[in-house]
């Protein structure tokens, strides 16, 4: 089990780094996330989700908050880079320590989404945009963003049974 | 915000794509309404996105920093019941440990490949995290002999000391160290009984005087960890009396 925590730290750091693209900021986010998990440990209901998932959920929220605070109004630099990020999944190349089975399967699930759904979840999850900002960015109604997000998450979740280990 | 409105926002909430007002409104509703179990399903979908992110090795120093923060909160004199002695919350007393020869839960996880990357500090962080997470029925392999010493010392500086014997790691934190004149620094020493002090590094207090350090060292009863004021950059041996000292 101790090793599992090592796994969470690397995944959490990878997630924070991907959102923030800044090692020092990612470190701060991961540190705060671990402390939050520590502080809330006694109040959490294990039935509501795995510990690993909780660490990642807290890490992501803090990373998004940090990137929004930094940019005030988060913006995608331009359309070309957004498309590029969507297409390659925005994966940083350097310092990637391992590609796990979960990574491969989750990436496959993400890549398997229709492009318009993948674009919306990528802008939301990895670029930290709000759904209203995504609607602005793509020039589509916010209801369209909501429904694409809903469909994308449902499809990703359905693939979870394949990916999730016991 | 009513149930239907919240339901419509939950997917975006699960990926942190709401603005702060929307998020606050959703959370206010969730506080008082139990009818949104579907949130966990949206969260599962969102987690797939986290898994679609490549892992990165965090800088080794991050583990020590997290350890220090957690150790400090655990050993703080104002901590809730059980502190400063964390031993009663050891996982060994919460969950039966696997017997030797039994298949371990960890062996079945991909985490196994991380074995070997984990340094002493990682192990210590994990031990401390696990100590606080007995509610998850987490098990810490091979830790049944582990012992945690935690106590406050040097109250004028808000000192706390944590020692993890299994990991051979000591963590010393201070809430308030006096500012030092230019050219001076706080140096930490590990002193094995009957031997000369060994430098364990310099403290770098923040603006408000808080500082912490994680020291990989095997300590036994009678050994001491001390802090003295030395020339910036540190001394080979202490040149002044300690301002604080403690031990396991």
Alpha-carbon distances, residue A60 vs A66, B53, B153, B212 (angstroms)? 10, 11, 37, 27
Domain that holds residue A3: 1-72
Q: Inspect the interface and report whether the beta carbons of B57 and A10 lie closer than 8 Å.
A: yes
How far is the C-alpha of B150 from the C-alpha of B29, rounded, in Å?
Answer: 40
Greater confidence, B19 or A99?
B19
Picking from A2, A30, A128, the nearest residue to B58 by CB comes out as A30
Whether B238 and B228 have beta carbons less than 8 Å apart is answered as: yes
The CATH number for A37's domain is: 1.10.1740.10
Mean pLDDT of A47-57: 74
The reply to whether B70 touches chain A by the CB within 8 Å rule is yes
Greater confidence, A6 or B41?
B41
Domain count, chain A: 2
Whether residues A60 and A87 fall in one domain: no
Whether residues A46 and A1 fall in one domain: yes
Beta strands in B6-119 (DSSP E): 55-56
Residue B172 has what pLDDT? 86
Whether residues A56 and A91 fall in one domain: no
Whether residues A41 and A68 fall in one domain: yes
Determine if the pTM surpasses 0.90: no
**DSSP letter string, B20-34:** HHHHHHHHHHHHH--
The CATH number for A145's domain is: 1.10.10.10
Give every CB contact of residue A58 below 8 A, 6+ residues apart in sequence.
Answer: A33, A36, A37
Whether residues A89 and A166 fall in one domain: yes
Question: Which residue, among A102, A92, A123, has the nearest Cα to A56 in the 3D structure?
Answer: A102
Residue B140 has what pLDDT? 29
Give every CB contact of residue A64 below 8 A, 6+ residues apart in sequence.
Answer: A19, A128, B16
Picking from B45, B123, B126, the nearest residue to A156 by CB comes out as B45
How far is the C-alpha of B187 from the C-alpha of B240, rounded, in Å?
Answer: 10
Mean pLDDT of B234-238: 89
3-state SS assignment for residue A104: helix
Whether residues A66 and A119 fall in one domain: no
**DSSP letter string, B178-243:** ----TTEEEEEEEE-TTS--EEEEEE---TTS-EEEEEE----TT-EEEEEEEETT--SS--S-EE
Last residue of one domain, picked from the residues A22, A43, A72? A72
Alpha-carbon distances, residue B99 vs A116, A139, B115, B134, B146 (angstroms)? 51, 60, 20, 18, 16
Whether residues A60 and A112 fall in one domain: no
The four Cα atoms B165, B116, B71, B180 give a dihedral, to 10 degrees, of 100
List the end-to-end C-alpha distance of chain B, in Å, as a whole number. 54
Give every CB contact of residue B33 below 8 A, 6+ residues apart in sequence.
Answer: B3, B6
Mean pLDDT of A49-60: 84
Asked whether residue A73 carries a pLDDT value surpassing 60, the answer given is no
Whether residues A102 and A36 fall in one domain: no
How far is the C-alpha of B68 from the C-alpha of B170, rounded, in Å?
Answer: 10
Mean pLDDT of B152-180: 83
Reported ipTM: 0.82
Residue B86 has what pLDDT? 33
Last residue of one domain, picked from the residues A72, A88, A121? A72
Whether residues A66 and A4 fall in one domain: yes
Whether residues A66 and A102 fall in one domain: no
Chain A residues inside the 8 Å CB shell of B54: 14, 18, 91-92, 96, 98-99, 103
A120-129 per-residue burial string, b: 16 or more CB within 10 A, e: under 16: bbbbbbbbbb
Chain B residues inside the 8 Å CB shell of A40: none
- Indicate the pLDDT class of residue A99, thresholds 50, 70 and 90: low
Whether residues A68 and A81 fall in one domain: no
The reply to whether B94 touches chain A by the CB within 8 Å rule is no
Last residue of one domain, picked from the residues A72, A88, A109? A72
Whether residues A98 and A68 fall in one domain: no
């Amino acid at each position: 089990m101790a090793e599992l925590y090592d796994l969470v730290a690397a995944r959490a750091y990878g997630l924070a780094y991907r959102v923030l693209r800044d090692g020092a900021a990612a470190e701060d986010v991961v540190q705060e996330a671990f402390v939050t998990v520590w502080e809330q440990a006694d109040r959490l209901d294990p039935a509501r989700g795995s510990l690993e998932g909780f660490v990642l959920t807290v890490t992501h929220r803090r990373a998004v908050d940090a990137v929004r605070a930094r940019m005030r109004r988060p913006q995608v630099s331009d359309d070309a880079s957004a498309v590029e990020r969507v297409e390659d999944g925005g994966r940083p190349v350097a310092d990637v320590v391992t590609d796990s089975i979960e990574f491969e399967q989750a990436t496959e699930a993400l890549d398997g989404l229709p492009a318009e759904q993948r674009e919306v979840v990528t802008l939301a999850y990895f670029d930290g945009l709000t759904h209203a900002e995504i609607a602005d960015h793509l020039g589509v109604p916010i209801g369209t963003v909501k429904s694409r997000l809903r469909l994308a998450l449902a499809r990703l979740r359905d693939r979870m049974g394949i990916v999730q280990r016991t | 915000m009513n149930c239907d409105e919240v339901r419509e926002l939950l997917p975006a909430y699960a990926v942190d794509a709401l603005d702060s007002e929307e998020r606050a409104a959703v959370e206010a509703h969730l506080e008082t309404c139990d009818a949104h179990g579907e949130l966990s399903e949206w969260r599962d979908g969102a987690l797939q996105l986290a898994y679609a992110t490549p892992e990165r090795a965090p800088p080794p120093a991050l583990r020590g920093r997290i350890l220090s923060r957690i150790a400090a909160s655990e050993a703080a004199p104002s901590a809730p019941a059980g502190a400063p002695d964390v031993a009663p919350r050891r996982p060994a007393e919460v969950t039966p440990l696997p017997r030797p020869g039994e298949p371990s839960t960890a062996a079945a996880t991909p985490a196994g490949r991380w074995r070997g990357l984990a340094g002493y500090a990682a192990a210590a962080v994990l031990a401390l995290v696990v100590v606080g997470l007995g509610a998850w029925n987490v098990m810490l392999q091979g830790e049944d002999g582990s012992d945690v010493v935690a106590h406050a010392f040097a109250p004028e500086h808000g000192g706390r000391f944590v020692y993890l014997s299994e990991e051979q790691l000591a963590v010393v934190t201070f809430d308030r160290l006096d500012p030092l004149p230019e050219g001076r620094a706080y140096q930490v020493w590990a002193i094995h009984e009957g031997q000369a002090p060994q430098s364990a590094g310099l403290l770098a207090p923040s603006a408000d005087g808080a500082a912490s350090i994680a020291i990989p060292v095997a300590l036994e009863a009678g050994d001491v960890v001390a802090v003295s004021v030395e020339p910036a950059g540190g001394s080979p041996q202490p040149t002044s009396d300690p301002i604080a000292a403690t031990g396991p």
